[in-house]
Amino acid sequence: KSVYVMDGNRWTTAGGISSIDLMLKIIAADHGEDLANTVADQMIYSTIRTDQDTQRLSIPTRIGVRHPKLSQVIQMMEGNIEDPMSPADLAEEVGMSTRQLERLFRRYLNRSPKRYYMELRLQKARNLLMQTDMSVINVALACGFASPSHFSKCYRSHYSTTPYRERGTQGMPGVVPVRLSI
C-alpha cells in the first residue's frame, strides 16, 4: 500500500514515492485536483496514488529471484535509464567479471544484461509515451537513446509498432507534442 498517516499535525510516509503521494494529496486538498495534477505532470509522475494503492514491489519480488548481486545490478540499471551503464561497468560495481554477469543474467533471467537493460529502457519509454505529453525525441533522450531513429527501430522491434503509433497520434496534423519543463 501507499502508506501515509496524518495524525494531527504529524504526517509520516513509508518510502520516497509515498512522500510524493502525500504532498500531492495535500496540494489537492488545499488547492484542488487540477493543481495537484499539474504538479504531478511537471514531475512526470503519472498517477497520484491513494492510500488504497499498492507500492512497487522490490526487485527480488518482481523478478522472482533472490540474488543480491543481480538485484544490485538491476537497481543500477533502473537508476541509470537516461545514461545507460556498460555491462563492464555494472559488473565492476558489484565486484564480478563481465562474463560472470552474463552468466548470472542468462541463468536467472534467460537473457543478456544488455538485452535486459534495453527492455527496461523500452518499458520506461512506453510508459512515458502513454502517460506524458513528452515529444518522442525527448522520450528517446530520457531513455538513453542517442537518436530518435535508433529509438524508433528498437521500439518497433520490441513492440511491433512505432513510438508515434503507440501514442496514437500517428503523425496526424495538428497533434503537437508538449514539452514539459520542470
The type of residue at 94 is V
Confirm whether 180 is domain-assigned: no
For 176, the grid coordinates are: 503537437
Tens of pLDDT along 72-96? Answer: 898 899 899 999 999 999 999 999 9
Query: With 80 as the cut, is the pLDDT of residue 54 above it?
Result: no
Which amino acid is residue 80, in one-letter code? N
Give the three cell numbers for residue 95.
Answer: 565486484
Q: Which of 38, 56, 74 is the last residue in one of the domains?
A: 56
Query: How many domains are contained in the chain?
Result: 2
Amino acid 174: pLDDT: 43
The C-alpha atoms of residue 94 and residue 103 are separated, in whole angstroms, by: 14
Asked if the structure places residue 113 within a domain, the reply is yes
Helix or strand run (H / E) with residue 13: strand 10-13
Task: Report pLDDT for 104.
Answer: 92
- pTM of the shown model: 0.61
Say yes or no: 38 and 100 in one domain: no
- Distance in angstroms (rounded) separating the CA atoms of residues 125 and 139: 6
Q: Which domain holds residue 8?
A: 1-56
Confidence of residue 170 (pLDDT cuts 50, 70, 90): very low
Give start and end residues of each alpha helix (H) in the chain: 16-31, 33-42, 59-63, 68-79, 87-93, 98-109, 113-131, 136-142, 148-159, 163-167
- Give the whole-number percent of the chain exceeding pLDDT 70: 71
Q: What pLDDT shows up at residue 182?
A: 43
Residues 39 and 103 in one domain: no
